[in-house]
Amino acid sequence: MVDASDGRRPAFRVAAALVTVLLLSFAAVAVAPAGGREVPESFADVVSRVRPAVVNIATSRTFGEEVATRPYRNFGREGAPFLHDETHLPPGHPRTVTSLGSGFLVSSDGYVVTNGHTIERASRIRVILHDERVFDATVVGIDGLTDIAVVKISSVRNLPFVQWGDSDAIRIGDWVMAIGNPFGLGGSVTVGVVSGSGRDIRSGPYDNYLQTDASINSGNSGGPLIDAAGRVVGINTVILSPTGGNIGIGFAVPAAMARPVANQLRDRGQVERGWLGLRLQTVTAGLARALGLTRPRGALVTAVTADGPADRAGIQAGDVILGLDGEEIRQVRTIPRLIASQAPGHVVEIGLWRGGARLTLRPVLGAAGDVASLDGLVSEPELAGVGGIISGLLDEQPPPRAREREPLLGMQLMPLSSEMRLALSLAPDRRGVYVVAVKPDSAADAAGVRPGDVIFVAAHSPVSSPQEMAERLTTARRSGEEAILIQVYREGEPRFVAVAV
């Protein structure tokens, strides 16, 4: 008699083998990185290609009495001079202080990109190559608004150089490497990931940093942030640290911004930027309701420079910019950056929201001059630790209603006098009303109106007396509006607030 179990063994073994193969295949698929990108076993090959193009930068500067007798303190921007407390030196005793930083070659004939703060005010700049050759360098150009600089070493050819990458394509979580000269050690490499993008740390008008946890320390300033393919996606510039040391939060100027700036510095020694002549503020939920928008979006124009490009094109205070050259505006700080990236003379298409309707205007960009003439943002209150995030969340709540319908929303107003206009540096013919006092817990108080503010506009119309303000409020209430849009002048700049009526 034949045992039936013996006849089943081959089939059982085949089935077991198939199950094993399927399980292994599933495990392989489960651990495969999304998008087909594999975690490399080593970054050594990439580093060996790129590191010869990364340079150390040593600068020197002679200080006099006012600095030589004072210790240096680090307030958060890394790559600053290594100074020691030498207050024992005789008054007026000069000394030379050395600063260390990093940079990278972008051409075979000696052009080096670095940070502006690494070389500014230096009396001598030396570039040390990977093979330890040392060259004196000259400044080609510095752009203080982006903290990018280009220097040139001469009498040398066939140098290794890096390729720029696409920082717009890099994703949060992608591998990056910081290569530079931390603490003067030279040629150091740290590895991490991109932790965030589009970071605004209030260091300048065009903040748009990449954030990384790749260790960046003093001396890394100006060095490249490299992607896994060995391309430069950023310039290491700033660290966030309460102690001055690395805590895993570093910031790099993205290549999308750095490359065109470096190219302009290399070609003509300075940067030309487009200019509209605008002051802008964020559209909050309360402002959106007062403006007739279904949700907070775009950027609210608070002021227009007289006879500037925006003014000549017909843009007005109270307009909301919804789009620029076909790109939807999601954050107000995007606009100054986009405008500055265009050359003077460029015709920009701007989509506006005005009085409940859409319209399109096409101003011709002018040339940005000094910092005071740049397109900018109205300063807004910032909560410690979280920037404007919490304030934005709070603003999503419905606007507080006044406990009673006060004629002037809890404000005591008076017309502007000649003396007030002079004290507030206003034009002699400027119309408006002065806020003498604000009743606590009133609608005006809840909206942020403060004593000392000057109200120029209410409900899109100028006001010059308390009676005119009362008339605007009466009209808004009869129309069933929830809030009224008021333009106030405070601390030298205008801004809009939405007050519940």
Half-sphere exposure of 157 (CA within 13 A, CB side): 0
* 269-292: pLDDT as tens digits: 999 999 999 999 999 999 998 999
**Mean pLDDT value of segment 93-117:** 85
Distances (CA, A) of 2 to 6, 7, 12, 251, 490: 8, 9, 18, 77, 101
pLDDT band at 77 (very low <50, low <70, confident <90, very high): very low
> What does the pLDDT read at residue 194?
94
Predicted structure pTM score: 0.73
Amino acid at the residue 213 = D
Closest by CA position to 177, among listed 45, 32, 34: 45
Q: How far apart are CA 274 and CA 238, in angstroms?
A: 26
> What does the pLDDT read at residue 92?
55
> What does the pLDDT read at residue 353?
95
Q: How far apart are CA 493 and CA 425, in angstroms?
A: 11
Phi, psi of 432 (to 5 degrees): 160, 175
Closest by CA position to 301, among listed 325, 285, 277, 267: 277
Residue 11 pLDDT more than 70? no
Residue 466 pLDDT more than 70? yes
Higher-confidence residue: 324 or 243?
324
The catalytic residue positions are 117, 147, 221
**Mean pLDDT value of segment 383-411:** 46
pLDDT band at 493 (very low <50, low <70, confident <90, very high): confident
* 17-31: pLDDT as tens digits: 544 444 444 344 333
- Written as one string, the DSSP assignment of 374-394 is S-EE-----BTTTBTHHHHHH
